[in-house]
Every structure is written in C-alpha cells, then in structure tokens.
Amino acid sequence: MTHDSTVLHIKGRVLTGPDPDGGVRDEMWVTGGRITFERPAGARDVTTVEGWALPGLVDAHCHVGLDAHGPVDAATAEKQALAEREAGALLLRDAGSPSDTRWIDDRDDLPRIIRAGRHIARTRRYIRNYAHEIEPEDLVAYVAREARRGDGWVKLVGDWIDRETGDLAACWPRGEVEAAIAEAHRLGARVTAHCFAEESLAPLVEAGIDCIEHATGLTEETIPLFAERGVAIVPTLVNIATFPRLADGGEKKFPRWADHMRRLHEGRYRTVGAAYDAGIPVYVGTDAGGSLAHGLVAQEVGELVKAGLPSSAALAAATWGAREWLGRPGLEEGASADVVVYEADPRADVRVLAAPRRVILRGRVVG
C-alpha cells in the first residue's frame, strides 16, 4: 500500500475520546499514513486541514457485496464501499454477505471491512440468495466454516417467519446453537444473530452469544439478562423504520406477522432507550446493502438520539466505543490515519455528521 508523501497538519479540535477534558487535543499530524501528536522533524510539504476531527465512523452492520436480490458484482460492491466512505464510515462490520470482497483489502481508497462470512439460516427461513440455508444438525459445521472465512465474527439468522404459525419464530434448538457458539469461540470468533422477535433472545444469550442485531424484541424480562451478560445490540433503527412497509406488503399472507412487525416498530425507540439505560452496549449499524442504500451512518446516529441516548453516547457508538468493541484503533499515536473532519462540534449536534468537511483514509485526503 502507498501513502501520500504530503504531511497533513490537522488543527482545531481533535476528539481522541469521549472525555471532554482528556479527550481533546488542539492538533495532530499525519505522516507516512500514520498519526502522530508531535510535529514530524523536517516537515516541509505540509497541508493543513482545520476543523473538528473524529476517528473514521463505524457502520457496525452493513452488507458490502449484497443487494435486495443477493450477491452483486465487484463494480456494485465498489460503489457501496465508496458511498460509505463518502459518509465518513471508514470501518465497516459486514454482517453477512455471500460475495467475496477480500479484494477490497488491497484498495487504499476503500474502507476497512471486518467480515462475518455468509449468513447462516434455517432452510426457507430467510431472504432468498443471502444465506447458507441448513438444518440444525449442520449448524456447528457451518459456523466453524464461516468462523474461518470471516474476520472474527459469525452471523446467524436467529428468527424469521414460520410459515406454519404465520409469525416470527426462533430458528435453532437450544442445544445446537449452544454447541455452535462454543465452536465459534473455540476458533476465536464472536457470534451475532439477526433477531426481531421476543422469544428468540433469551435462549441465544444463555447460549453465550456476543451480540444481537436489531433486538426489537427486547422486553423488561430480557433487558436485565443482556446487561448482566454484556451482550451488545446493534439496533439498525434506519432499517426498523421500514417495518410498516414490510407489514403492508405481507399482511394478506401473514396477518399475524404483519401486526407483530407494526408493534415492534411502534416500540422501537422505547426499546433502545431502555436497553441503553440498563447498561447494554449499543452500537451504530445501518443494515445497508439489502434493501437500504449505503452511507446512512449519520442518520442512524440521529435515530439513537431520538431513542433517548445522550448525543455523546450516540457519537461514541459510531466512533471511539465502536472501534474499541471491534478491536480497532481510533486517533492514537502510530495508528493509521483514518479521520473525518467536520466544520462544527459533533458532540453539540450529531447532525453535523451528515456533512464531512474532509475524509482522510490511510493518511490520504479522499473526500
């Protein structure tokens, strides 16, 4: 990988962490693609960027290489990744994709991706062309396969429409999912699951799962369990906003499911606010790449604020906190210079995130 020879001088306010006293510096430098807080010796060809600097934003639930119909070609995946970059999302957790996007790792100009391999779903219990569709006796083997294929994550489909009951229902028996999660952990991978419904949550948490996507079915009974076990949620509220439209489209065939989806949608802000208040880790993810466009990370931060998270917490869920959770550095001495610069303080108003002034990726100004 190559780096621009120009030394960047970022000055104004550099937000290295959430602490308003210890997490702010007046300036930092970028040389050789990396961050330093000391002026490089002999620096001459210097470009100055002024504003409020944050570590590159994190979209912790998106799908590069996927659209509403299944896998996409490389040109489309590139456009998806560039849309994330334009929005300031420079670290993506790809929460399931049937496409091989490893080639993106060789591109200096595209965001970094942490992959969860391909979704693992029960037969005929997920979106066509998305997942490995298997039966419970094969779950451990497929989890091991995707743990080796991914970047430290595996993605299960925890619940989906059961055609016999006409409503959401859990996909996996407790014994099989417990064994599968244990196998993933043995291989050094964490496990997350798509879950809308209430009944699927407690068994997955008790089986040792690390994260739940969407988590619309959290209740007064399961919220304390999540908090006690430290299980994170990625609410994807910009995706949950589509529930009424989905319900309208499926009401004729599955009226019970449609009513359930509307109720989950109506309680979405209350659910996420209660989860945060209970101490459950909450992170920003958009679910872009299925039916949603990429580049919605700022909108999702705003949705978390609507749900009752303080602006500082919603901002951390897309920056310092999310990077620590995923094991990636922020604005630290020697770290790769993945930086987004804004004209105003995003801590005061998260709507600032919608308009990056400069995007710096691997030390190069790319936007």
pLDDT digits (tens, 9 = 90+) for 13-66: 999 998 877 789 999 999 999 999 999 987 778 899 999 999 999 999 999 999
347: pLDDT strictly greater than 70: yes
Show Cβ contacts of residue 256 under 8 Å, excluding neighbours closer than 6 positions: 165, 166, 167
Give the CB-side neighbour count of residue 341, counting CA atoms within 13 A.
24
79 pLDDT tier (thresholds 50, 70, 90):
very high
As given in the structure block, the two tokens for residue 229 are 């076990």
Show Cβ contacts of residue 25 under 8 Å, excluding neighbours closer than 6 positions: 13, 14, 16, 37
Tens digits of per-residue pLDDT, 290-339?
A: 889 999 999 999 999 999 999 999 999 999 999 999 999 999 999 999 99
Q: Domains in the chain, ordered, with CATH?
A: 7-55+330-365 (2.30.40.10), 57-326 (3.20.20.140)
Tens digits of per-residue pLDDT, 180-236?
A: 999 999 999 999 999 999 999 999 999 999 999 999 999 999 999 999 999 999 999
DSSP states of 137-178: GGHHHHHHHHHHHSSSEEEEE-EEEETTTTEEEE-S-HHHHH
Confidence (pLDDT) at 2: 45
Burial class (CB in 10 A: 0-12, 13-18, 19+), 185: middle
Task: Name the DSSP letter for residue 336.
Answer: B
Q: Is the dihedral of CA 193, 198, 200, 205 positive or negative?
A: positive
Mean pLDDT of the chain: 96
User: pTM (2 decimals)?
Assistant: 0.96
Mean pLDDT of 241-258: 97
As given in the structure block, the two tokens for residue 173 are 């028996």
Confidence (pLDDT) at 23: 86
Confidence (pLDDT) at 41: 85
Task: Name the DSSP letter for residue 222.
Answer: H
Confidence (pLDDT) at 5: 62
160 strand-pairing partners: 169
Burial class (CB in 10 A: 0-12, 13-18, 19+), 176: middle
